[in-house]
């Protein structure tokens, strides 16, 4: 299936030309003018999606070939999947809402038409010589039709209310899925994807100094081996919590991957190095009570590499330099901060 987007932002004159081309094709095939069908045939005459055009012409070659289910599924395939984020649940929900609304709208329109007819008949009867029986019958019919139109309207209102509740649910679901896509599920801080965006943004916003801290827990494999993987997870959560506490307008913290974390600080190198030292101290002073035991785990340490972006440095280059600083911190004995400044380099601790 193609991922190319459909374009509906045309000049008014162009879009009315397209519509003029689309409508006769629909009329020839007796295709009802529902929003789905307009969208499909409009896209067909735009001639931008050969796959859609091929499917439409094959499925609806002429009068009598129209099948609302086929039309609905083409709409789903070509529009909903292209426009909505990759959440099949959200896509299905939206299609259900659209289907339900389209049905109610046409039902309500039919009801209004029938009511109009009934009014017209009644007026004609009233113009004829007075016949109280016929007038009574006509008025009775009009009252019944009014009642059934009211029913239809209230049904339509209920369906609209249900649909807007569904839309609100869909919106929430989409927001949640967008949130999930940017938050690390274990530590609940930003994940690598959100970090990449934040770093790109910090570097392109220009004026202020941007520093990067890369942090890696020391001998974490040993920690997992000694205390178990679940305890390892808990330590990661706690370290994530320490970082989150330090987050402010000038600091963005993220889980970089595995047992590595990253902090983007809108600060010059010296201030970023101080921040790194504060984090290192906090981690080193952690004492974690093991569940169901008196044992307290300590000695968790972290190595940190700190760099400041230079000129128009790219995110990749900044990360690479922070990584060099971090591995220097590991080489020099761990539990330390190494600041890489160019051309001079220095090491704290
Ligand atoms: N519990 C837990 N462990 C993880 C997770 N992600 C990565 N790890 C573990 O982190 C460990 C990292 O090990 P190494 O890369 O060898 O590094 P290290 O043992 O921390 O040693 P140094 O970095 O050299 O100090 C591996 O054993 C991974 O399994 C996680 O989400 N939970």
Q: Which residue(s) pair with 305 in the sheet? A: 214, 338
232 close to ligand 1 (CB < 6 Angstrom): yes
Distance 164 CA to ligand 1 centre (A): 47
The rounded average pLDDT for each run of 10 residues, N- to C-terminus, in the chain (349 residues) is 44 68 83 77 83 92 90 77 57 59 59 65 61 64 68 70 73 77 93 95 89 98 94 96 94 97 97 97 93 84 97 94 98 97 54
Residues known to be catalytic = 259
For residues 192 and 254, what is the distance between their CA atoms, to the nearest angstrom? 7
For residues 107 and 132, what is the distance between their CA atoms, to the nearest angstrom? 34
From first CA to last CA, the distance across the chain in angstroms is 57
CA distance to 6, 7, 174, 230, per residue, from 51 (Å): 12, 15, 28, 50
Residues 337/348, Cβ–Cβ less than 8 Å = yes
Burial class (CB in 10 A: 0-12, 13-18, 19+), 305: buried
Domain extents in the chain? 12-179, 192-347
- Choose among 311, 323, 194, 167: nearest CA to 252: 194
ipTM: 0.97
CA distance to 2, 7, 159, 169, 317, per residue, from 40 (Å): 15, 12, 25, 27, 47
225 close to ligand 1 (CB < 6 Angstrom): no
- Upper half-sphere CA count for residue 153 (Cβ side, 13 Å): 9
Among protein residues, the one with the nearest Cα to ligand 1's atom 27 is 221
Nearest atom within ligand 1 for CA of residue 231: 1
State which CATH number among 3.30.70.270, 3.90.1150.10, 3.20.20.70, 2.160.20.10 fits the domain covering 192-347: 3.30.70.270
Q: Which 3 state secondary structure label does DSSP give 63?
A: coil
Rounded to the nearest 10 degrees, the angle between the axes of helix 220-227 and helix 229-246 is 130
Residues 302/279, Cβ–Cβ less than 8 Å = yes
Q: Which residue(s) pair with 346 in the sheet? A: 339
Q: What is the pLDDT of residue 7?
A: 47
Burial class (CB in 10 A: 0-12, 13-18, 19+), 346: exposed
Q: What is the pLDDT of residue 146?
A: 66
Q: Which residue(s) pair with 297 in the sheet? A: 288
Q: What is the pLDDT of residue 156?
A: 66
Rounded to the nearest 10 degrees, the angle between the axes of helix 50-59 and helix 68-75 is 170
Q: What is the pLDDT of residue 170?
A: 72
Distance 202 CA to ligand 1 centre (A): 29
216 close to ligand 1 (CB < 6 Angstrom): yes
Provide CB contacts within 8 A for 126, sequence distance 6+: 135, 138
For residues 260 and 273, what is the distance between their CA atoms, to the nearest angstrom? 17
For residues 31 and 25, what is the distance between their CA atoms, to the nearest angstrom? 8
CA distance to 73, 137, 217, 254, per residue, from 240 (Å): 45, 78, 11, 8
Cis status, amide bond into 125, omega within 30 of 0? no
Rg (CA), the chain: 33
Q: What is the pLDDT of residue 250?
A: 93
To test the pocket of ligand 1, the residue of 259, 329, 331 to mutate (highest count of ligand atoms within 8 Å of its CB) is 259
220 close to ligand 1 (CB < 6 Angstrom): yes
4 close to ligand 1 (CB < 6 Angstrom): no
């Amino acid at each position: 299936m193609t991922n190319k987007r459909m374009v509906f932002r045309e000049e008014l004159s162009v879009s009315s030309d397209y519509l003029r081309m689309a409508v006769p094709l629909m009329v020839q095939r007796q295709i009802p003018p529902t929003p789905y069908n307009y969208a499909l045939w409009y896209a067909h005459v735009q001639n931008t999606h050969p796959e859609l055009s091929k499917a439409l012409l094959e499925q609806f070659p002429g009068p009598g070939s129209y099948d609302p289910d086929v039309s609905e599924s083409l709409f789903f395939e070509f529009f909903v999947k292209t426009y909505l984020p990759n959440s099949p649940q959200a896509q299905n929900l939206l299609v259900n809402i659209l289907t339900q609304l389209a049905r109610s709208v046409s039902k309500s329109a039919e009801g209004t038409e029938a009511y109009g007819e009934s009014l017209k008949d009644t007026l004609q009867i009233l113009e004829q010589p007075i016949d109280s029986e016929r007038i009574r019958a006509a008025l009775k019919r009009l009252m019944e039709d009014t009642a059934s139109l009211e029913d239809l309207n209230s049904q339509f209102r209920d369906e609209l209310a249900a649909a807007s509740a569904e839309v609100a649910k869909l919106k929430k679901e989409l927001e949640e899925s967008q949130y999930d896509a940017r938050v690390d599920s274990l530590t609940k801080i930003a994940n690598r994807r959100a970090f990449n965006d934040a770093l790109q943004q910090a570097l392109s916003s220009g004026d202020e100094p941007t520093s990067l801290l890369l942090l890696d827990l020391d001998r974490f494999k040993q920690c997992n081996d000694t205390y178990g993987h679940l305890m390892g997870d808990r330590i990661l959560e706690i370290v994530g919590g320490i970082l989150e506490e330090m987050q402010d307008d000038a600091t963005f913290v993220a889980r970089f991957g595995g047992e590595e974390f990253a902090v983007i600080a809108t600060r010059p190198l010296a201030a970023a190095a101080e921040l790194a030292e504060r984090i290192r101290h906090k981690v080193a002073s952690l004492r974690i009570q093991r569940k169901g035991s008196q044992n307290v785990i300590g000695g968790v340490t972290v190595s940190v590499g700190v760099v400041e972006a230079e000129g128009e440095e790219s995110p990749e280059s900044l990360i690479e330099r922070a990584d060099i600083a971090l591995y220097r911190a590991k080489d020099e004995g761990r539990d330390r901060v190494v600041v890489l400044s160019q051309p001079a380099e220095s090491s704290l601790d």
